[in-house]
C-alpha cells in the first residue's frame, strides 16, 4: 500500500546559512542567466559568499526541447554574459554525452525472465 506523504520521513528543512536571492536575466533569444546572490536568513546581503551564475539553454530534439543548466565561473554579470557561449557549449556537450550513455545502457540491457515464468521453469528443453 502506498504511504501517505505525511507518513514519510522527509527532511524539508531549509538551510538558513545557505540562502540565495535569485535574479533572472535573458536576451530572449539564446538563453538565460540566473544570478544567485547570497543573503542571510534576514534577507540582507551576505558579503562572505560569492554570487553563483547559472546559465540555461535548450537542446531541440525530435521528442521536444531538453533543458540544459550549467554553472558559469564568473566574477560579475558582465563576465558571465561573456563566458556564456563557452559554458553553454560545455553544458550541451555534457548533456549530449549523458543522453548517448543512457541510450547505450538501454540498448545493451538484456531482460532475463525469472525462473518459473516460462513453461518448464525457464530451462531450455530439446524435444
Helix (H) or strand (E) holding 71, with range, is strand 64-72
pLDDT digit of tens for each residue in the chain (127 aa)?
A: 455 555 567 888 999 999 999 999 999 999 999 999 999 999 999 999 999 999 999 998 888 999 999 999 999 999 999 999 999 999 999 999 998 898 888 888 766 666 555 555 555 656 5
CB atoms within 10 A of CB 53: 24
- Total-model pTM: 0.72
Domain boundaries, the chain: 15-107
Task: Give the span between the Cα atoms of 47 and 28, in whole angstroms.
Answer: 31
Nearest 5 degrees, angle CA 62-CA 70-CA 37? 135
Question: Where do runs of H (alpha helix) occur along the chain?
Answer: 77-108
Amino acid at each position: 500500500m502506498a504511504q501517505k506523504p505525511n507518513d514519510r520521513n522527509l527532511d524539508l528543512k531549509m538551510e538558513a546559512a545557505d540562502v540565495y536571492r535569485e535574479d533572472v536575466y535573458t536576451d530572449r533569444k539564446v538563453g538565460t542567466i540566473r544570478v544567485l546572490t547570497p543573503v542571510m536568513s534576514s534577507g540582507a546581503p551576505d558579503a562572505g559568499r560569492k554570487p553563483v551564475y547559472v546559465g540555461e539553454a535548450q537542446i531541440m530534439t525530435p521528442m521536444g526541447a531538453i533543458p540544459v543548466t550549467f554553472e558559469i565561473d564568473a566574477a560579475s554579470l558582465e563576465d558571465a554574459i561573456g563566458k556564456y557561449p563557452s559554458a553553454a557549449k560545455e553544458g550541451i556537450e555534457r548533456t549530449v554525452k549523458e543522453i548517448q550513455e543512457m541510450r547505450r545502457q538501454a540498448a545493451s540491457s538484456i531482460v532475463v525472465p525469472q525462473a518459473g515464468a516460462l513453461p518448464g521453469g525457464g530451462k531450455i528443453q530439446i524435444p
